[in-house]
Amino acid sequence: MDLQLKIWRQKNKLNKGEIKNYSIKNIEPDMSFLEMLDILNQGLISSGEEPVAFDHDCREGICGACSLVINGAPHGPDKGTTTCQLHMRRFNDGDTIYIEPFRGNSFPVIKDLVVDRSAFDRIQQAGGYVSVNTSGNTVDANATPIPKPDADKAFEAAACIGCGACVAACKNSSAMLFVGAKVSQYAHLPQGKVEAKERVTNMVKQMDKEGFGNCTNTGACEAHCPKEISVENIANLNREYLLSKIK
Amino acid sequence: MYSSIIKKVLMALSGIFLMVFLLQHLAINLTSLFPDDGNTFNKISHFMGYNPLVQFVLQPILIFGVFFHFIMGFVLEYQNRKARISKYIYHKTRSSWVSKNMILSGLVILAFLALHFYDFWIPEMDYKYINFKQPDSLKYFHELQEKFYGQTTRTTIYCISFILLGLHLNHGLSSSFQSVGISNKKEKNLQRLAIIYSFIISFGFSFIAIYHYFVH
């Protein structure tokens, strides 16, 4: 298939970017979206042009590195998939495809389609962990009985790969789904209860410090999350936060 | 100052407070449909208009609640717009129009509120506290009829506003549950409650306006 691509090009963090048009021919329907970009880049390199910079790593929907907004939707038109799991058969011959980076002040563009998502790392570092005694008395995590419903909820929240699609989809660039998932992941487990108050307080404080917007419950985050993390985790985050202020 | 979650909770609580008031307002207005020449409506309206507790305690709290909700809404909207300076060229997300445009429906409600105050509240304040006229317990039903009977423009504006109010309330109430942390995706009853509540308010007020447009 032949396609028209409208891709955001930006030299670096300081430069103002713009949409540039590219034509690409003979794309196989079974190629992945990233493979299509690889072919585009090969052509650009051959003709002496700067290739399009984009993030990718595992290419199997696990790492959360790929981060494109395709035709207005983070990770493209399919539900519950990452950009790397998107295939060209989802498009038609002659289509025009818009490709932009995830946008938000807290996710500044580094180059072209690559954004700096270290704000998520800093939120995680603020409290997204459990402290474990490793002095030789370490308790096997499996030795602590956990009710199945709690384990399931924690596991569902832990499926978040921290890609940032929730921020990219939200009209307010809110990171509440990410923070909600990370807080819920531990809140449902006995191991996470000990530091629950500090965790939620510090993670929310860091989230606000990073400049993410406020959640207005549009549900776009859940709708575009490649791991289909539920907005129930945001309600859980709110509950944990309010309880931490009361207790 | 306040965390983003506290701001959301304050927005939700002020919204719930205003929703309780709306329910009370609708209940009183529904008495204007009683076939008793407006006697019940006049009695309740007179009580509300001259009871010191209502006038000097509840009314100021209500006005504060309205201002707080609107100002907080504008503050949150400003902060949210500021969080993404570099806009998308093409952005098409999977979320409802109402949820994305609460500020728009809120502004329509604010404009409607100005009209509603101009129609009823300002004349009432003028009557009682500027001209110091004697209490007239029979005037309320007459005023209501005067404002709506055969008044196509006003009735239409009111009804359109009530539809937008209903949409605003539907998202607002379900969103409030989420904000205070009592939402549960598997428990759809809260969503149903929001739909039922917003329908009752929107349909109830519209019906009253249309009824008095046709019936004198």
Considering the domain architecture, whether residues A86 and A190 belong to the same structural domain is answered as no
**pLDDT tens, residue by residue, B123-166:** 999 998 888 888 888 899 999 999 999 999 999 999 999 999 99
Considering the domain architecture, whether residues A55 and A95 belong to the same structural domain is answered as yes
The two three-digit tokens of residue B70, written as one number: 């609107």
Full residue range of the structural domain in which residue A59 is found:
3-111
CA proximity to A104, closest of A178, A213, A209: A213
Contacts of A67 in chain B (CB under 8 A): none
**pLDDT tens, residue by residue, A212-235:** 999 999 999 999 999 999 999 999
What is the CATH number for A92? Answer: 3.10.20.30
Q: So what's the pLDDT on residue A198?
A: 95
Tell me, yes or no, if B100 comes closer than 8 A to chain A by beta carbon. yes
What is the CATH number for A191? Answer: 1.10.1060.10
* Residues near B120 by beta carbon (within 8 Å), at least 6 away in sequence: B143, B147
Tell me, yes or no, if B188 comes closer than 8 A to chain A by beta carbon. no
Mean pLDDT calculated for residue range A35-42: 97
Average pLDDT, chain B: 93
Q: How far apart are the C-alpha atoms of A224 and A173, rounded to whole Å?
A: 13
Q: So what's the pLDDT on residue B186?
A: 61
The span from the first CA to the last CA of chain A, in angstroms, equals: 61
Q: How far apart are the C-alpha atoms of B120 and B82, rounded to whole Å?
A: 38
Total domains present in chain A? 2
Give yes or no for a contact between A164 and A216, defined as CB atoms under 8 angstroms apart. Answer: no
| Domain boundaries, given as residue ranges, for chain B | 4-83+99-214
Cβ A19–B89 below 8 Å, yes or no?
A: yes
Q: So what's the pLDDT on residue B93?
A: 86
Contacts of A220 in chain B (CB under 8 A): 93-95, 100
Tell me, yes or no, if A212 comes closer than 8 A to chain B by beta carbon. yes
Q: Is the pLDDT of residue A55 over 90?
A: yes
The two three-digit tokens of residue B107, written as one number: 């502004």
The ipTM (two decimal places) reads 0.88
Q: So what's the pLDDT on residue A157?
A: 96
Q: What is the CA radius of gyration of chain B?
A: 19
Average pLDDT, chain A: 95
Considering the domain architecture, whether residues A32 and A124 belong to the same structural domain is answered as no
Considering the domain architecture, whether residues A96 and A9 belong to the same structural domain is answered as yes
Q: How far apart are the C-alpha atoms of B137 and B38, rounded to whole Å?
A: 11
Considering the domain architecture, whether residues A78 and A182 belong to the same structural domain is answered as no
Contacts of A213 in chain B (CB under 8 A): 79-80, 82-84
Q: So what's the pLDDT on residue B189?
A: 86
**pLDDT tens, residue by residue, B79-118:** 999 999 889 999 888 899 999 999 999 999 999 999 999 9
Considering the domain architecture, whether residues A195 and A146 belong to the same structural domain is answered as yes
Cβ A173–B91 below 8 Å, yes or no?
A: no
Considering the domain architecture, whether residues A122 and A59 belong to the same structural domain is answered as no
